[in-house]
Amino acid sequence: MSDFVFDEFHYQSQLTLKIQKLKQDFANFNIENIEIFSSPIKHFRMRTEFRVWHKGDQLDYVMFGQDKKPYAVHEFPIGSITINELMPKLILQLNADSDLKHKLYQIDFLTTQAGDALVTLIYHKPLDENWIAKARAVKDQFNINIVGRSKGQRILLDKDYVIETFTVDQQQFSYQQVDSSFTQPNAAICQSMLNWAVNNSKGFNGDLLELYCGNGNFTLPLSKNFEKVLATEISKNSVNSALFNIEKNNINNIHIARMSSEEFVQALDGVREFFRLKDIQLQDYQFSTIFVDPPRAGLDDNTVSITQRFDNILYISCNPETLHKNLLKITETHKIQAFAAFDQFPYTHHLECGVVLQRK
């Protein structure tokens, strides 16, 4: 990574190529304007993971190239300032202690824009009281949270999460972000995505249905624009974080249902009844809008048809290819009102998109 140049010229050059390709790929939709949200050039990534390479008696952070070979990482310009400050100090401390470095396999960093940090140390050995005492000393020395993981073990020395804060439409929202659970890696772009979604859904009113809500990342700020919000998520850890975040932000118009999108569609259509919805009366909702943020595979055909029942569709996509496929069907009934490109992963070919559609 040290051979790569992280500057305005190289960043803008690559972003320009990505946007050109995006416009070419979506030319058949005759999109009048694509709003582009660029990333900071450096220190934009709030979380990362490194494998640990044992060479003799010393440890190194490593990443693996396309050739499958390990490459030592001594600096990480795309990582947050906090990650870059912690990396050399932490590896020095680990190298100085045989108990802490023995059979250490991986190190994960999760940080916030305010400088808080959670470090997860993953081992190929059982972790005992001696490890706990030494890891606690490192925790106190660097003022960080540490989680130790091994097969069948997950040891918390204090908290297993950090609290991130985003400002959306001039209001602050706080989020619990938990070890090993998904969070948006690029904090600046995440904040741009949240503001874009909120600004483009003002005036929709009615109630909102959200599929794949995660820890409530979009759910919380979007709740300002709707009477009630019903959000679904399959991951138990993400549901717990979403509930934590709803309470922490004092929001009272959101309900979370732990179920897959496929299960919820069955409930919505009356095909099946679910005990998990026993406290939720679907007939009380007047849904005007659906929000979807699916995995890279995009929406399955059945869920695509479900989105077409709603007056308004908010679609966040991490894969333009599957987004394009879904839009071919959705635009039979809906018109694209807004389209945005978010450079979540600079210096890669990846690009995230946001689309607002309204019934024709």
Catalytic residue numbers? 318, 352
Distance CA 294, CA 259 (A): 14
**269, two tokens:** 């259509």
CB 150 within 8 A of CB 125: yes
CB 179 within 8 A of CB 161: yes
334-342 and 312-317: which strand pairing?
Answer: unpaired
Distance CA 247, CA 224 (A): 15
How many CB atoms sit inside 10 A of residue 266's CB? Answer: 16
Element (H, E) at 163: strand 161-168
Distance CA 250, CA 246 (A): 6
Distance CA 224, CA 202 (A): 9
CB 242 within 8 A of CB 256: yes
Tell me if residue 133 falls in helix, strand or coil: helix
Q: Residue for token digits 């990333």?
A: 39
